Chain A
Amino acid sequence: MEIFILYKAILVLVVFAISLGVAAYSTYGERKVAAFMQDRVGPDRAGPFGMLQPLADGLKMFMKEEIIPTVSNKFLFVLGPSLAMLTALMTGVVIPWGGDITIGNMVFPLQITDINIGILYIFGVVSFGVYGIMIGGWASNNKYSMLGALRASSQMISYEIAMGLAIVALVMTTGTLSLREIVTQQSGNWVNFIYQPLGCLIFIICAFAETNRAPFDLPECETELVGGYHTEYSSMKLGFYLFAEYINMFISSAIIMSLYFGGYNLPFQNYIAPYIDGNILSILQFGCFFTKVLFGIFFFMWIRWTIPRFRYDQLMNLGWKVLIPLAIFNILITGVLMYALGKV
């Protein structure tokens, strides 16, 4: 029991550290990818190839003057970015990072907790993430912050619906809400993307909107709509908001990969698995999953530096008039096909 708790504590710390590390290097990756796509070099001064750039950025954020508007509610003002960070980090708990590792007769799964309603848990946390933005925008006591917060939160709750409906179709085919179960179902089988191409597309689009990434980055487009909800923020509190966005990107990429692209399963795993040790397989699986997730992050960036931003009415039209009907249609088609193929 004690070993179990210790193991879980270590795993939590590791996932925490990986999330933060990946988020930090995503900022670097973002700038590098942007630079290469625009035929530039990108940051290359801090350390070899600019590898220390995230540290320099972090240091800059810490050293900057911290400004709290005098009339704003100080507690809520600090609570906003803290909530954004908290909800971003909480989602990583249910993601299966790899198979089991067996030492002696003890089995250590590479997942912090496998609750049987994993997907719903993610939804709960994501829906709570809106508060970080709303509270921050309101506590700034600035009308532009407030408008930015309203803009951001209405976008997030609009796309949450389509996202949920896209998931419903997936849950119909898999018959479970546990992420680990969904991933194991895909081993030695077609990945869920084959069964749910439309649902996958809708889910990815909504994931972009939920993480406030381009082309849905209206909540924080600095150039056109002031700064959005974090106009009044400075120093590390601003850093928290920006950092939370990158963690969200990492986590949502992990969720997309788990749900639709086989999760931690290696390609042709059934042919490889009998020849190698279980623990090595698990480590290979973790590596495979990590590669997939990094590709997912790259995909996020790739889209960002390709597509221009939506206008707000286009954003809302897409969410309510296109994605939600499409998602409902997807559920219908899935149901009909499952009935026709006798899977019910």
Chain B
Amino acid sequence: MMQLTNRKRVVVKKEMSLAEKLYLPAITDGMVITLKHLFKKPTTVKYPEVKRELSATFRGQHVLKRDEQGAERCTACGLCAVACPAEAITMEAAERKKGEEHLYREEKYATIYEINMLRCIFCGLCEEACPKEAIFLTDRIVPVDVNRKDMVYGKDKLVEDIQNRVDVSKRQTAAVLEFKKDKKHFHNQTWDDIQKQIKPKKHH
């Protein structure tokens, strides 16, 4: 077989010398090492007070985004549920009624949207699958709980608060940001864009 590295070493079981048989030199060597470590700085991060810096692409608790006007972006298409390898996502869809346009951006929306945080493996495939830029993983850590029931997160925990928006702009790659400029696609349009499109129709 071709040798790939020169790190290979043949193990030889040789007779131990008297000093080695006594073990005492080896023990003192070991004790010197542990004594040295006694004066080293601990590497512990004291978690609740000090937080380790998370990577830019850290995948934590999900958020269901609203658009600029505060309407939910999710249209309950189910692509996230299909994409989910852990089958953690489930939802129930309903049709938007008249007068609910300010609540739901699309004509169909999710009445129930649940993610089982015990099943979720935080792979981020739901985020990739979403055509409406509705679901994102954030840098928030899912808190632990003592019973399973409470680990199934419904819309009350997932949909972002209007007063207290969750910033996900950093999670969008350059390619996505570039794509978002293309106003051909409905979900890239802002509220103003839509208004502009509607107005000429009224004049007609």
A and B touch in the complex (CB under 8 A): yes
Q: Flag whether B37 is at the interface (Cβ < 8 A).
A: yes
Q: Which residues of A contact B1 (CB under 8 A)?
A: none
Q: Which of A39, A41, A44, A307 contacts B37, CB < 8 Å?
A: A39
Q: Flag whether B27 is at the interface (Cβ < 8 A).
A: yes
- CB pair B42–A36 under 8 Å, yes or no, is yes
A-B contact number at CB 8 A: 35
- CB pair B34–A37 under 8 Å, yes or no, is yes
Q: Flag whether B169 is at the interface (Cβ < 8 A).
A: no
Q: Flag whether A38 is at the interface (Cβ < 8 A).
A: yes
Q: Flag whether A40 is at the interface (Cβ < 8 A).
A: yes
- CB pair B43–A302 under 8 Å, yes or no, is no
Q: Flag whether B46 is at the interface (Cβ < 8 A).
A: yes
- CB pair B27–A40 under 8 Å, yes or no, is no
Q: Flag whether A14 is at the interface (Cβ < 8 A).
A: no
Known: A37-B37, A37-B38. A306 touches B30 (CB 8 A): yes
Q: Which of A39, A41, A306 contacts B27, CB < 8 Å?
A: A306
* CB interface residues, B 12-52, toward A, < 8 Å: 27, 30-31, 33-35, 37-38, 40-44, 46
Q: Flag whether A295 is at the interface (Cβ < 8 A).
A: no
Q: How large is the interface on B (under 10, 10 to 19, 20 to 34, 35 or more residues)?
A: 10 to 19
Q: Which residues of A contact B27 (CB under 8 A)?
A: 303, 306-307
Cα distance A330–B191 in the bound complex, in angstroms: 95
Closest partner residue, chain B, to A33 (CB atom): B38
Q: How large is the interface on A (under 10, 10 to 19, 20 to 34, 35 or more residues)?
A: 10 to 19
- CB pair A41–B31 under 8 Å, yes or no, is no
- CB pair B37–A38 under 8 Å, yes or no, is yes
Chain B nearest CB, measured from A49 CB (Å): 13
- CB pair B31–A40 under 8 Å, yes or no, is no
Q: Flag whether A305 is at the interface (Cβ < 8 A).
A: yes
Q: Which residues of B contact A305 (CB under 8 A)?
A: 34
Q: Flag whether A35 is at the interface (Cβ < 8 A).
A: yes
* CB interface residues, A 296-342, toward B, < 8 Å: 302-303, 305-307
- CB pair A40–B34 under 8 Å, yes or no, is no
Q: Which residues of B contact A35 (CB under 8 A)?
A: 42
Chain B nearest CB, measured from A160 CB (Å): 22
Cα distance A233–B45 in the bound complex, in angstroms: 35
- CB pair B38–A303 under 8 Å, yes or no, is no
- CB pair B34–A306 under 8 Å, yes or no, is yes
Closest partner residue, chain A, to B40 (CB atom): A39
- CB pair B30–A307 under 8 Å, yes or no, is yes
Q: Which residues of A contact B31 (CB under 8 A)?
A: 302-303, 306
Q: Which of A39, A303, A307 contacts B43, CB < 8 Å?
A: A39
Known: A41-B44, A41-B46. A36 touches B30 (CB 8 A): no
Closest partner residue, chain B, to A304 (CB atom): B34
- CB pair B37–A36 under 8 Å, yes or no, is yes
Q: Which of A33, A40, A303, A306 contacts B42, CB < 8 Å?
A: A40
Chain A nearest CB, measured from B54 CB (Å): 21
Q: Which residues of B contact A307 (CB under 8 A)?
A: 27, 30
Q: Which residues of A contact B44 (CB under 8 A)?
A: 39-41
Q: Which residues of B contact A38 (CB under 8 A)?
A: 37
Closest partner residue, chain B, to A44 (CB atom): B46
Cα distance A288–B44 in the bound complex, in angstroms: 34
- CB pair A302–B37 under 8 Å, yes or no, is no
Q: Which residues of B contact A36 (CB under 8 A)?
A: 37-38, 42
Q: Can you give 13 contacting A-B residue pairs, CB < 8 Å?
A: A36-B37, A36-B42, A37-B38, A38-B37, A40-B42, A40-B43, A41-B46, A302-B34, A302-B35, A303-B27, A303-B31, A305-B34, A306-B34
Name B's A-contacting residues (CB within 8 A). Answer: 27, 30-31, 33-35, 37-38, 40-44, 46
Name A's B-contacting residues (CB within 8 A). Answer: 33, 35-41, 44, 302-303, 305-307
12 A-B pairs besides A36-B38, A305-B34 with CB distance below 8 A are: A35-B42, A36-B37, A37-B37, A39-B37, A39-B42, A40-B42, A303-B27, A303-B31, A306-B30, A306-B31, A306-B33, A307-B30
By Cβ-Cβ distance, the 10 closest A-B pairs, closest first, are A41-B44, A306-B30, A306-B34, A37-B34, A41-B42, A36-B38, A306-B31, A37-B37, A39-B43, A40-B44
